[in-house]
Structure formats: structure tokens, C-alpha cells
Amino acid sequence: MNDIRGKMEMKHPKNLKAGVGVCIFVLAVLALFCRADLKKTQNTYAEQRNQMVEEQIKNRGVSDSRVLDAMREVPRHLFIDEPYRHLAYADHPLPIQAQQTISQPYIVGLMTEAVQVQKGDKVLEVGTGSGYQAAVLAHLTVHVYSIEIIKELAEKARQTLKKIGYDQVKIKWGDGNLGWEEHAPYDAIIVTAASRKMPPALFEQLKEGGLMVIPIGNPSSFQILTLIEKKQGKPVRKEMIGVRFVPMTERKR
């Protein structure tokens, strides 16, 4: 008996060594698979983004290379929750929280190009929503301010932007009809909610020569995306295209 036990005890260390070896091998293979899978997902998103820019934005006439580059960079899927994330690069708006929407990629490109943001400019966005439009603007200038009237959205966008690395975007929970006086005047203002008329406070906070883009019309049906330039203190309007945005409200929630 003693003899047999002695042999078995001798075998244990060997078995253990072999077992550990197999485990390490299996883990290494698994790690390789995971890395390949992660790369595949990342590639897929990058590929989808490039395709989105080519087909939906460039093809329809947006030509400012800085805007196109920004939209190739911003990971739009990270601004959209499940179950809609897989549709992030599709050619339409998508629901976000609180019955609001993230705009169609083309509309983001069109509005961003329209206000001609230059490096160092100060930009105000009204209607932060998911924070996606603000992230696109952050590629064009470091001074991006954005106002959101729904607290839950303002907080979520702040977190998303921080997580991805857009720390410079400043978000305020408030009524965008009143603008953000503290940082005025702005070189550009982008309003991403529908309004019956241009809010006077926003026009006041626009610099001389500055540009504002805003959907003006019936907030519960259709609007005209309107570009307004401040020329000698007066608004000069240019109508762009018909759009459908969620309404601009006045009560903080």
C-alpha cells in the first residue's frame, strides 16, 4: 500500500503542472479570440461611420472636410442606448431617453457646415439631447456650450461626453430660449429643437457676423431649417430645407 501511495504522490506534481499548462494555453487562445472579436466590432463601427459619411452626407452635398472628418471620428453608437445602438449609423433619427431623438446624421452634417465654425470660435448648442452634435462641434473648436432642458438628459450627455474624452464641452441644465448669457457673444448657434420663431435672447447673444441655424415652423409638424446671419445688428435669413424636429419647450424638467 505504502508503495502505491508513494507512486501516486509522485504523480500529482506532474499532473498539476500539465493541468496548469493546459489552462494557460486555453486562456491564451481565448484572449486571442476576444481581441480579434473586439477589433472586428471596432472595425465594423469605423467602417459604418465611413460609409455613413460617404453615402449619406458627402453624396448629398456637405463638402466641408473638417465637418466630414469630425463625423468620421465621433463614435455615434456610444451616444445611443440599446436596443437602437445597432442602428446608430443608419440614415434616420433615433429615439433617446425622455421621448427625445438624436438627429439624422445628414442633418447634423448640414447644420454643422452651415454655421462655419472656425478653430477658437465660441459655439452654443440649444438641445443637448444625447450630446452627439456637441461632440461633432468639439472637433472644430474647443469652446462648445450646450443647454438641455431635461435634467436627466443633461446629466447623461455630460457623462457620455466625459467618458469618451470630450471634457471641454460645457453643459447646462436650463431653458435654451434664454441662451447662456455668461459666455456670450457666440460666433455660432445651433438650435436642435423646433421653434415657432427665433428666440430674441439667442439673436442678442450672437456676435456681429455670426451665424445661427434653427428649425422654424410648427413645432408639432414641420419646420424650415433656417440660417440666420447677424448683419449690422439685423437678422438676414436663408431658408435651407424642410425638417421635423422635436419641439422646443420652456419648462425645465
Burial 150-186 (b: 16+ CB within 10 A, else e): beebbebbbebbeeeebeebbbbbbbbbebbeeebbb
Comparing CB distances to ligand SAH, the nearer of 129 and 210 is 129
Minimum CB separation of residue 35 from ligand SAH in Å reads 32
Residue 242 cell numbers, joined: 424642410
Starting at the earlier edge strand, list the strands of the sheet with 143-148: 170-173, 143-148, 122-126, 186-191, 206-217, 223-231, 234-243
Minimum CB separation of residue 15 from ligand SAH in Å reads 58
* x/- letters, 211..250, toward ligand SAH (CB under 6 A): -----------------------------------x-xxx
CA distance 241 to 243: 6
The answer to whether residue 205 forms part of the interface with ligand SAH (CB under 6 A) is: no
The answer to whether residue 104 forms part of the interface with ligand SAH (CB under 6 A) is: no
Comparing CB distances to ligand SAH, the nearer of 114 and 153 is 153
Residue 130: active-site member:
no
Residue of 147, 161, 214, 243 interacting with ligand SAH (CB under 6 A): 147
* x/- letters, 148..187, toward ligand SAH (CB under 6 A): xxx--x---------------------xxx----------
Pick the catalytic residue: 63, 103, 146, 221?
103
CA distance 31 to 152: 37
Comparing CB distances to ligand SAH, the nearer of 43 and 97 is 97
Minimum CB separation of residue 179 from ligand SAH in Å reads 10
The answer to whether residue 103 forms part of the interface with ligand SAH (CB under 6 A) is: yes
Comparing CB distances to ligand SAH, the nearer of 121 and 148 is 148
The answer to whether residue 126 forms part of the interface with ligand SAH (CB under 6 A) is: yes
The answer to whether residue 198 forms part of the interface with ligand SAH (CB under 6 A) is: no
**Site residues, ligand SAH (CB under 6 A):** 100-103, 126-127, 129-130, 132-133, 147-150, 153, 175-177, 192-193, 246, 248-250
Among all residues, which ones are annotated catalytic?
103
